A = this chain, B = another copy of it.
Amino acid sequence: MAFPWPEVGTPLGDVITPMPVIDEDRLAANIARAAAYMTAQGLAFRPHIKTHKIPAVARQQLAAGACGINCQKLSEAEVFAEAGFDDILITYNLLGAARLDRLAALNARVRLRVVADSAVTVSGLAGAFDASRPLTVLVECDTGGGRCGVQSPAEAATLARQIAAAPGLRFGGLLTYPAVGGAARVESFLSQTMALLAAEGIDCPVRSNGGSPDLWKAHLVPSATEHRAGTYVYNDRSMVRAGECGRGDLAMHVLATVVSRPTSTRAVLDCGSKTLTSDLLGFADHGEVEEWPGARVVSLSEEHAVVDLAACTGPLPEVGARVRVIPNHTCVVSNLFDRMVFQRGGVVTRVEPVAARGTVW
């Protein structure tokens, strides 16, 4: 059953809802602004494609000066390699024979780097690669993010040594995805580890820092050589709250329609958790409605959003009214749609396949 995606030239008012739509001008401005900042700081910039999963958008990022791309899954990297990208960093501990076989095939095609944070991961990689086509591996460091990563510079140095000693691996440097605002801690971790490595004569060419919430603070980590970020390309409500962008930089809105007005203070929209996802990112509610200041998206079911209008002062919305919702988190909205609609001036400019969506591993 083919879904009739809108054609180029369709006015937004005729685009069926619920539908996330990307503003071309804001997208281009977000890409240009981050690229200019990174260039000014002398940092390589490596956009994370998990936010959009669209090769055409990544091409815009490369055209603006990005050094390559960042993927979170092997399958994402495979899709982007197929689309012609040849400098790919996968920021994930890759394990298991099936993945390692495919990783070797990918390493034969493109300039590839991966990360590891344990001896188990490094041993697996070491067994899958040899000196004829070595794999470059960075050590992932936990600098306060509380997710993956070695816990100390000493651990990082130990793992770097293991990587450097494996014939099929090359030690590529250090990588971190820090907690928001942890510049001093990141710098301390990186510089201490670099000193340990230097004392052993181990080269540490790349120090990769990351995160859209840390984007404009990237210069506060002088030891970093590159920065990675994903969300900045679309931005979202969490980025506005963090002070990292203004409302005029929000490139994604979710078009939605009022499908019910059961009471004087309740409106129901057609964008539920299968459109917006339930990601709260610390918010108490599920997005903002541009047209209704004061409205609160208080709950989501799978295909409905319940909006509390009690604090709204404007005219009350009617069934059939169309609105634009600012999602809490754009990266997960992208992941729900097979295609993404783009617009400029209220008219559809293109409809891009979300090529790396649904790739499982």
Which positions 15-37 of chain A face chain B at CB distance < 8 Å? 16-19
Residue A131 is within 8 A (CB to CB) of chain B in the complex: no
A1-B82, A95-B259, A257-B96 known; A332-B274 Cβ under 8 A:
yes
Among B149, B257, B306, B336, which residue has its beta carbon within 8 angstroms of that of A335? Answer: B336
A331 and B360 within 8 A (CB): no
Residue A98 is within 8 A (CB to CB) of chain B in the complex: yes
Q: Which residue of B lies closest to A355 (CB)?
A: B1
Identify which of A62-70, A71-79, A199-207 touches chain B.
A71-79
Interfacial chain B residues near A7, Cβ < 8 Å = none
The prevalent SS among residues of A at the interface is: loop
This chain: copies in complex: 2
A93-B259, A262-B150, A319-B120 known; A277-B273 Cβ under 8 A:
yes
A93-B260, A118-B260 given. 8 additional CB < 8 A pairs?
Answer: A16-B96, A72-B303, A93-B259, A95-B319, A118-B261, A147-B262, A149-B262, A150-B262
* A2–B358 alpha-carbon span in the complex (Å): 11
**Could you list 12 A-B pairs, sorted by A, with CB under 8 Å?**
A3-B360, A16-B98, A50-B302, A73-B303, A117-B260, A121-B259, A147-B268, A274-B332, A277-B278, A278-B278, A278-B332, A358-B358
Interfacial chain B residues near A121, Cβ < 8 Å = 259, 319
Interfacial chain B residues near A117, Cβ < 8 Å = 260, 262
B262 and A148 within 8 A (CB): yes
A278 to chain B, nearest CB (A): 4
* A32–B135 alpha-carbon span in the complex (Å): 52
B335 and A16 within 8 A (CB): no
Q: Which residue of B lies closest to A257 (CB)?
A: B95
Q: Which residue of B lies closest to A272 (CB)?
A: B72
Interfacial chain B residues near A50, Cβ < 8 Å = 302-303
Residue A142 is within 8 A (CB to CB) of chain B in the complex: yes
B360 and A75 within 8 A (CB): no
Interfacial chain B residues near A19, Cβ < 8 Å = 360
**A interface size (C-beta, 8 A):** 66
* A142–B261 alpha-carbon span in the complex (Å): 12
Q: Which residue of B lies closest to A80 (CB)?
A: B1
Interfacial chain B residues near A98, Cβ < 8 Å = 4, 14, 16
Q: Which residue of B lies closest to A74 (CB)?
A: B16
Which positions 133-173 of chain A face chain B at CB distance < 8 Å? 142, 146-151
Residue A352 is within 8 A (CB to CB) of chain B in the complex: no
* A284–B336 alpha-carbon span in the complex (Å): 24
A318 and B120 within 8 A (CB): yes
Residue A304 is within 8 A (CB to CB) of chain B in the complex: yes
Residue A195 is within 8 A (CB to CB) of chain B in the complex: no
For A278, A299, A335, the residue with the greatest tally of chain B CB atoms inside 10 Å of its CB is: A278
Interfacial chain B residues near A188, Cβ < 8 Å = none
Which positions 245-302 of chain A face chain B at CB distance < 8 Å? 257, 259-263, 266, 268, 273-274, 277-280, 299, 301-302
Interfacial chain B residues near A336, Cβ < 8 Å = 335-336
Q: Which residue of B lies closest to A148 (CB)?
A: B260
Q: Which residue of B lies closest to A361 (CB)?
A: B16
Among B124, B146, B262, which residue has its beta carbon within 8 angstroms of that of A151? Answer: B262
A1 and B96 within 8 A (CB): no
Which positions 293-323 of chain A face chain B at CB distance < 8 Å? 299, 301-304, 306, 318-320
Which positions 325-361 of chain A face chain B at CB distance < 8 Å? 331-332, 335-338, 358-361
